[in-house]
Amino acid sequence: MVVQFMEFIESAPNQSLRALSDRVLRKCREVTGAEAGTVFMLRGQGRGRHLEAVSAQNDVIRAKSALFTVPMNQTSIVGYVAATGETLLLDDAYEIPEERPYRFNPAFDQRTGFRTRSIMAFALKGARGRPIGVVQLINRRSMPGEAGPPIFLPYHEQMIAPVNHIVGRALERAATLERLTERNRALTRERRRVAELQAETERAFMVSVNLLARAAEVHDEETGNHILRVNEYSYALAGWAGCSRAFCKEIRFSAALHDVGKMSVDQAVLHKKGRLDERELAEMQRHPIYGHDILIASDRLKMAADIALCHHEQWAGTGYPQGLKGEEIPLAARIVAIADCYDALRSARPYKPSFSHEKTVDILLNGDDRLDPKVHFDPRLLALFSTRHAEFDAIWVALKDQEKIEA
């Protein structure tokens, strides 16, 4: 019998708990001649511990095998077997002696018209020898030539006893695998949900960044797609400089916030036509500090805060607000300084026309009466720009505002 059950279980490995319990129950009924039966598995912990029916079969009636649970206590037949590990052989479920702690629940019989008579219930033992479930077999059939009522006999208990731990361990493994599989599915669902929430958060973050950048332009002369172009120039130049993908991705939105501090500048200064006086110039030159103060509170905007603070610093140390020199200036700010200057030269202003790409490149590389590239810009970045500046022009063309461009 042991070999037979081992071969039976191993003949179909890696089954679900439901499939394996169905096969086990059918085999137990076959060797004992039971008309019906149920396999229960122990579930839960502490006071919530209960027996869950994972397989139910009945050859006599075609009732739906709705699975159910039984509290883990000794007042029920299966609860008693699970708690004690004993095997019960009952000749008639309706004639249990009063001194026994358990009783038969006739609810199923009353609902279906089925008549439960003899019962055999035995515990399934797990890897540690403890009950992990119960098999309840109902109504043994009469065998040809057999005298007396069709009841389960000690012979059936002796036949089943050597295999209940084999069956129990197989079901325990199936239950463990099922729990792990469901846990993995739950983790997969949770990861998917977290990814969705992160995507939603990222979209909301990017919308906020874009709105903040647009708000900075409301009172400024720079309108339209200026911030989008500066983002793309900066992204391209960072890539040419060999920056990491993460750095390039971050500068692609951080660059847009370079002038966010202008929101805090006196609007009369921003709108003034003509040269600024000393006080007004000092106020204008505070916009990098204002921008840094706005952005530094967010960890996600640390690069943006560096750019806002330092994009008017100059390689020679002649910029503002801190007079930083060379590589003291954050790389992201050095990149944006070139990107912002290129777009400013290409864009029309009240005090200047829009310059062509060729003229803009000449000014950035060779200077004019207002700009000295050796003083203003990182020479390594400028050298990269000198060989690939056509990509800046392509960005300008793709994102240019609807305005007349002077040759």
Q: Helix/strand/coil (H, E, C) string of the chain?
A: CHHHHHHHHHCCCCCCHHHHHHHHHHHHHHHHCEEEEEEEEEECCHHHCEEEEEEEEECCCCCCCCCCEEECCCCEHHHHHHHHCCCEEECCHHHCCCCCCCECCCHHHHHHCCCCCCEEEEEEECCCCCEEEEEEEEEECCCCCCCCCCCCCHHHHHHHHHHHHHHHHHHHHHHHHHHHHHHHHHHHHHHHHHHHHHHHHHHHHHHHHHHHHHHHHCCCCCCCCHHHHHHHHHHHHHHHCCCCHHHHHHHHHHHHHCCHHHHHCCHHHHHCCCCCCHHHHHHHCCHHHHHHHHHCCCHHHHHHHHHHHHCCCCCCCCCCCCCCCHHHCCHHHHHHHHHHHHHHHHCCECCECCCCHHHHHHHHHHCCCCCCHHHHCCHHHHHHHHHHCHHHHHHHHHHCCCCCCCC
The CA-based dihedral angle spanning residues 116, 118, 120, 121, taken in that order and rounded to the nearest 10 degrees: 40
pLDDT of residue 143: 77
**Considering only CA atoms, which of 400, 398, 219, 258 is closest in space to residue 337?**
258
Mean pLDDT of 12-41: 85
pLDDT of residue 215: 74
Residue 405 reports pLDDT greater than 50: no
User: Is 92 within 8 Å of 118 (Cβ atoms)?
Assistant: yes
Residue 135 reports pLDDT greater than 60: yes
List residues bridging with 134 in a β-sheet: 40, 123
- Measured at the alpha carbon of residue 176, what is the angle toward residues 171 and 181, in degrees to the nearest 5? 125
pLDDT (tens digit per residue) in 149-158: 789 988 888 8
pLDDT of residue 404: 45
Residue 219 reports pLDDT greater than 60: no
Report the C-alpha gap between 199 and 193 in whole angstroms.
10
Give CATH 1.10.3210.10 domain extents, the chain. Answer: 220-399
State the pLDDT confidence band at 4, using cuts at 50, 70 and 90.
Answer: low
pLDDT of residue 8: 63
Mean pLDDT of 56-64: 81
Report the C-alpha gap between 322 and 337 in whole angstroms.
15
pLDDT of residue 402: 63
pLDDT of residue 407: 39
Mean pLDDT of 241-259: 95
**At residue 183, what are phi and psi to the nearest 5 degrees?**
-65, -40
Mean pLDDT of 378-384: 97
Report the C-alpha gap between 182 and 178 in whole angstroms.
6
State the pLDDT confidence band at 254, using cuts at 50, 70 and 90.
Answer: very high
Amino acid at 23: R
What's the CATH fold of domain 1-183? Beta-Lactamase (3.30.450)
Give CATH 3.30.450.40 domain extents, the chain. Answer: 1-183
Report the C-alpha gap between 249 and 363 in whole angstroms.
29
Residue 66 reports pLDDT greater than 80: no
Pull the structure tokens for residue 329: 């200036």
User: Is 33 within 8 Å of 141 (Cβ atoms)?
Assistant: yes
Residue 108 reports pLDDT greater than 60: yes
229, 240, 260, 331, 364 from 383: Cα distances, Å? 20, 10, 29, 15, 11
User: Is 380 within 8 Å of 327 (Cβ atoms)?
Assistant: no
- Buried residues in 349-361 as b, exposed as e (16+ CB within 10 A): eeeeebbebeebb
pLDDT of residue 5: 64
In this predicted model, which residue has the larger pLDDT, 252 or 214? 252
What's the mean pLDDT when you consider all of the chain? Answer: 87
State the pLDDT confidence band at 173, using cuts at 50, 70 and 90.
Answer: confident
Report the C-alpha gap between 219 and 287 in whole angstroms.
13
Among 144-158, 308-322, 348-362, name the one with the lowest average pLDDT.
Answer: 144-158
**Considering only CA atoms, which of 279, 162, 225 is closest in space to residue 400?**
225
Residue 349 reports pLDDT greater than 90: no
pLDDT (tens digit per residue) in 262-274: 888 887 887 777 7
State the pLDDT confidence band at 192, using cuts at 50, 70 and 90.
Answer: confident
Residue 216 reports pLDDT greater than 80: no
User: Is 214 within 8 Å of 198 (Cβ atoms)?
Assistant: no
Residue 65 reports pLDDT greater than 60: no
pLDDT of residue 63: 57
Residue 221 reports pLDDT greater than 80: no
State the pLDDT confidence band at 403, using cuts at 50, 70 and 90.
Answer: low
Amino acid at 193: R
In this predicted model, which residue has the larger pLDDT, 210 or 315? 315
Q: Which CATH class is domain 220-399?
A: mainly alpha
Mean pLDDT of 234-241: 97
